Amino acid sequence: EPLCRSGVWRFHELLPFADPEKVVTIGEGQTPLMASEGVGSFVGMKPGQLFLEYEGMNPSGSFKDNGMTAAFTHAHTIGAKRAACASTGNTSASLALYCCVSKLMQAVIFIGSGKISYGKLSQALDYGALTIQIAGDFDDAMQRVREISSRLGIYLVNSVNPFRLEGQKTIMFRVLESLNWEVPDWIVVPGGNLGNSSSFAKAFHELKELGLVDRIPRLAIINAKGADTLYELVENRGLRWNQGKPNSEVMDTYYAELDAAHLRADTIASAIEINRPVNLFKCLRGLECMDGVVREVTDQQILDAKAQVGMSGLGCEPASAASVAGAKMLREEGIIDPSERVVCILTGHQLKDPTATVAYHTSDQKEFDRVLGSRGVSRAAFANR
């Protein structure tokens, strides 16, 4: 039966908002959890303690399909005919694919100018989505799509949509299933719009309430330096959920500073090149629930970690490798212990964003300079290959 072929909907009892008859699935969530000795030793873990959850295996090549099937199912249930998103590329690829395969809706996509990798853009175009490039970056595109979709009654599938987050909870269900329901010590995830981190916390909160787990792992959210709002606010300025009363003036002040300085997000990890994460408050609640920490990693740390992930046989895109780079940082700080069990989420497939990969590995200086020249990156870590 089709629900069983989905790594999301075989948990439909834990997603009770959806009528099983209305579920729109394209076989998402068939993703492996793999132990990696190479990445484990790079991070500094004892053998067998580092796991990679490979969300690149999804039909559109990223974790987004977990959430898209849920949002899309809801959209279908309420009879939506058009669905929209702003995207750094993966949400749009996923939406375009669900629209194309199901033929239930038209996809309308907003992207920032020059900000999206060709791999991801080509998915949206091939799947036939109406693709609109706006002057500005993701944060601008996000604001525009929120206005336009509410004005025109278009169904919005960005992770402000709560059903997206319901679907993404299943990433944690599958991690637990693969570990025979033994709760790991750490979940490490890249942070962009902060949908994943929020949904992971909700997943564990609910599983604990249901008595299906006896404890909750710690959460590490990894920002890219240059797109580090969460890190700055939580680790440097003391923004907290505080059981329902976030000290949000800290956030208002920071955003006013960003505006005054005309500061734009900038990182090689284009998927998470975001300065105004829409799920910031949900994520604060998640950090409280999972005793979480936030770190930021440089382009260099991301690319070195990505090359190491590649050696494990599971290629990922730059944003995904932030999780591994962040785990290494927390291990070096002594916050993660080498004998703990760590799960890093690899959010997107290697083929999504090959430009940075080629530039990092090539001996063609021109190509290196074109892509990475302004980023203070060197290939030192892998020069001996």
Of positions 39, 105, 194, 289, contacts ligand F0G by CB under 6 A: 194
CB closer to ligand F0G, 232 vs 317: 317
Least spacing, CB of residue 144 vs ligand F0G, in Å: 14
Q: How many residues bind ligand F0G (CB under 6 A)?
A: 21
Beta-bridge partners for 53: 33, 345
Least spacing, CB of residue 194 vs ligand F0G, in Å: 5
According to the binding rule CB under 6 A, does residue 275 interact with ligand F0G? no
CA distance 231 to 214: 29
CB closer to ligand F0G, 49 vs 137: 137
Residue nearest to ligand F0G (CB): 192
Return the residues of window 311-330 that contact ligand F0G according to CB under 6 A: 317, 319-320
According to the binding rule CB under 6 A, does residue 304 interact with ligand F0G? no
According to the binding rule CB under 6 A, does residue 66 interact with ligand F0G? no
According to the binding rule CB under 6 A, does residue 112 interact with ligand F0G? no
CB closer to ligand F0G, 40 vs 119: 119
According to the binding rule CB under 6 A, does residue 265 interact with ligand F0G? no
Residues in the chain: 385
Chain centroid to CA 287: how far?
16
Q: Is 187 left (phi over 0), alpha (psi -120 to 50) or beta?
A: beta
DSSP of 211-280, one letter per residue? TS-SS--EEEEEEETTB-HHHIIIIIS----TTT---THHHHHHHHHHHHTT-----S-GGG--SS-TTH
Return the residues of window 117-176 that contact ligand F0G according to CB under 6 A: 159
CB atoms inside a 10 Å sphere around CB 216: 18
Chain centroid to CA 121: how far?
17
Contact string (CB under 6 A) for ligand F0G, positions 214-253, x = contact: ----------------------------------------
According to the binding rule CB under 6 A, does residue 290 interact with ligand F0G? no
Q: Tell me, what DSSP letter sits at residue 46? A: P
Residue 252, judged by CB atoms within 10 A of its CB (0-12, 13-18, 19+), counts as exposed
Applying CB under 6 A, the residues found at the interface with ligand F0G are: 62, 87-91, 159, 190-196, 271-272, 317, 319-320, 347-348
